[in-house]
Structure 1
Amino acid sequence: MAKTVLVTGASGFIGSHLVGRCLADGCRVKALVRKGNACIDSLRASGVEVIEGDVRDATAVDAAVRESDLVLHAAALTSDWGKMQEFIDINVGGTRNVCEASLRHGVGRLVHVSSFECFDHHLLGRIDEQTPYKARKQSYPDTKIGGTNEVWAAIKRGLSASILYPVWVYGPGDRTLFPLLADSILRRQLFFWARNAPMSMIYIDNLVDLTMLAASRPEAVGEAFMACDGEAITFEEVCRRVAVAIGSPVPSLHLPFGMVRSVAGVMEFVWRIAGSKKRPLLTRQAVDVLASRALADVSKARTMLGWQSHVPQEEGIRRTLEWLVTVDPARWKVK
């Protein structure tokens, strides 16, 4: 009998790829999806059992988790802008609901997709699983810490769970990193504030591989793993490749970090006073992330699980840029 897998966040970038892998592996796949989500029909057409509900609703979560062998928890509010309470309700409360239901129904395994954002970006060198979390009074990183701590607490109570800390995730289907960079480059709105800052990324297929390894290997129970391609690249180089691919001039303007962060703070203040739901052009969280000097150390996943990134970074970027043209063929002309 095929394993029954529940994927939360199945309509998102990471979750949708997890659904695809589980279907390809012959699993019975369930997805917890908000009512009215545009992807519901396509999920059902692909053979997914859709449970309409929200991770904030403990009753809906309980119904979704029931009779699941494996839970892949990828649901999260990932923006760098929004009301703090909404982040708390989804990233902390939602994760608590998933953990409680998993304990109650005796789920065999749970894999929680956390974030590299749990750690201090200003640390020099490599960050590993022993590095302490660093709260920054920012909605997304602080609530990802809170949600991940819910998983650690559930592990102490007997939940067979593993935790992943993905860095920047990219690949076909991403609606944030590469499309937003391309749009900013075309609008001549992109500039830099940290010269030669290293950037850790992971291609979506590599992350899915690691997730499924963590879900199946007994050594992974009660453990956490960095999720990264293992290759460093600078933000400037990523932007250069995007610019060349879409036939736009390569951005070259550099501004002082302190000035850019101050401007981002002013923008946030003005946007909040105006009550705008749309994110500002700059946020302090985005400025901090793209000025990071820290890299993820993936040696634990390699040694404990035998994991390796099957798609090299250069190939992953090439595939992503080729896909980008499908977002808007008239706008993106990938070379």
Structure 2
Amino acid sequence: MLVTGASGFVGRAIMHALGTIEGVCAVGAVRELPVKNRSEQSLLSLGDLSKTSDWSLVLADFDVVIHAAARAHIVKHEVTDPFDIYRKINVQGTLRLAEQAAKAGIKRFVFISSVGVNGNITSRPFTSAIQPNPAEPYALSKWEAEQGLWNIQRETGMEVVIIRPPLVYGLDAPGNFGSLVRWVQKGIPLPLGAVHNKRSLVGIDNLVDLIIRCIDHPAAANEVFLAGDGEDLSTTDLLRRVGEAMGKPARLIPVPAGLLQLGATLLGRKAMAQRLLGSLQVDISKTCELLDWKPPYTVQEGLKRCFERSN
């Protein structure tokens, strides 16, 4: 099978896990081969993901594509229209790959999307059946890609599986989790000791286990699945557990969430405040029931594995 984005956080974990399964041949597609792995036989350098990428010669050797490649972060002040970049890579690049995959006879296309497609705030947990409501350019690009994939599926019959994860944590995780870890490592006092929100997370090991389940499970075909650990935490609780797992307790100051929200709004950091103070929960019951799956690790176990590996 072919794994795109094989040099990224999720892609690397997928490749590592597939490499431990007897009889599975996995090849990773990357934009550019890392210098230390120039002769790595399991990696292919295919350049940028775009609407003109040519995958035809590569795809002939596979029956499954796991598409984990994406543009996830853009420095806004460096571009006029951030969504234009997201669309070129996450939408046009994805659909170009899927169209060529279908022509090559690929049986199943597993797409790693985002829970942001559902929205960025919940009053009750999201389900995969809820009407999508992407609120940010990245999430909107994932939603447009999903719609295009369903069109390709209907026209060609290629099976499509869509997985929408919330925040993914693990060793060397980028983004929000990486920031939380750095704050705790540095012993920075944080005014987040009285946040009572609820947020769903998914450990990298649990996410990869779910992705592998979706490779050939008959019930996964043409379905949308939400990923998660099955346990929701407040930001306060997450920071405390990160500190415990690291052996360096988080320094938390109990400032009322309403006051933090007001301050963030006045400083123009409303989006950051939403990620730290707001709730975002997912219901993974469909995922568990349809695929006869359950997360192999609890949040506590996932965090422990994360920091054990870093020592």
1:225 aligned onto 2:225: yes
Describe the superposition over 1:153-178 as per-residue Cα deviations: whole angstroms up to 9, x where unpaired. 22222221100011111122423444
Q: 1:103 to 1:286 in 2, by over 3 A?
A: farther
Match of 1:17 in 2: 13
Residue aligning to 1:32:
29
Residues 80 and 140, structure 1, Cα contact 8 Å, conserved in 2: no
1:290 equivalent to 2:290? Answer no
Aligned to 1:276: none
**Could you tell me how far 1:57 is from its partner in structure 2?**
5.2
Q: CA deviation at 1:301?
A: 1.3
- DSSP-derived class of the 2:3 partner: strand
Q: Does 1:238 align with 2:233?
A: no
Aligned twin of 1:50 = 44
Matches within 5 A, 1:70-85: 70-79=64-73, 81-82=75-76, 83-85=82-84
- CA contact 1:80–1:286 (8 Å) conserved in 2: no
Displacement of 1:236 in angstroms is 1.0
Matches within 5 A, 1:96-175: 96-136=95-135, 138-157=136-155, 158-175=157-174
What's the CA shift string for 1:72-121, capped at 9, x where partnerless? 00011122644332111111112111211111111011100011111123
1:29 is displaced (CA, Å) by: 2.0
1:294 deviation in Å?
Answer: 3.1
Give how far 1:246 is off.
5.3
- 1:317 aligned residue: 303
Matches of 2:74 and 2:249, distance apart in 1: 27
Q: Deviations over 1:125-174 (max 9, x none)?
A: 111011111132x2212212122222222222222110001111112242
Which secondary structure state, in structure 2, belongs to the residue aligned with residue 59 of structure 1? Answer: coil
Q: Hey, what's the Cα distance between the residues in 2 that align with 1:80 and 1:123?
A: 25
Partner of 1:288, secondary structure, is: helix
Q: Is the 8 A contact 1:44 1:50 kept in 2?
A: no
Q: What SS does the aligned partner of 2:54 have? A: helix
Give the AA of the match of 1:208. V
Matches for 1:256-335 after TM superposition, within 5 Å: 256-265=260-269, 284-325=270-311
Q: How far off is 1:250 after superposition?
A: 1.4
Q: Say if 1:28 and 1:204 are closer, same or farther in 2 by CA, change over 3 A.
A: same
RMSD: 2.4
| Residue in structure 1 matched with residue 79 of structure 2 by the alignment | none
Q: Aligned with 2:125: secondary structure? A: strand
Instruction: Tell me the equivalent position of 1:268.
Output: none
User: In 1, distance between residues paired with 2:160 and 2:188?
Assistant: 45
Q: CA, structure 1 residues 120+177, in 2 after alignment: closer, same or farther (shift >3 Å)?
A: closer
Distance verdict in 2 for CA 1:253–1:193, change over 3 Å: closer
In structure 1, the partner of 2:214 is 214
Please say if residues 51 and 88 of structure 2, whose CA atoms lie closer than 8 Å, have aligned partners that are also in contact.
Answer: no
Which residue of structure 2 aligns with residue 203 of structure 1? Answer: 203
Once the two structures are TM-superposed, the CA of residue 194 in structure 1 deviates from its matched residue by 8.0
Q: Does the CA contact (< 8 Å) of 2:193 and 2:252 recur in 1?
A: no
Conserved 8 A contact 2:240-2:249: no
Give the corresponding residue for 1:247: 248
Change (3 A) 1:122 1:217: same
**2:98–2:152 CA contact under 8 A, matched in 1:** yes
**Is residue 53–residue 60 contact of structure 1 (8 Å, CA) maintained in 2?**
no
1:269 is matched with none
Structure 2 residues not aligned, in runs of 5+: 77-81
Task: State the alpha-carbon separation in 1 of the partners of residues 150 and 263 from structure 2.
Answer: 38
Could you tell me which amino acid in structure 1 is paired with residue 144 of structure 2?
A: G
Q: Report the equivalent of 2:93.
A: 94
Which amino acid is the alignment partner of residue 68 of structure 1?
F
Give % identity. 25
The alignment partner of 1:264 has SS state of coil
TM-score by length of 1: 0.81
Distance in 2 (CA, whole Å) between partners of 1:180 and 1:223 is 33
Instruction: Give distance in 1, aligned partners of 2:58 and 2:247.
Output: 42
Residue 287 and residue 87 in structure 1: after superposition, are their counterparts in 2 closer, same or farther (change >3 A)?
farther
Structure 1 unmatched runs, 5+: 266-283, 326-335
Q: Distance in 1 between matches of 2:216 and 2:89?
A: 26
The question of whether the paired residues in 2 share the 8 Å contact of 1:114 and 1:164 is answered with: yes
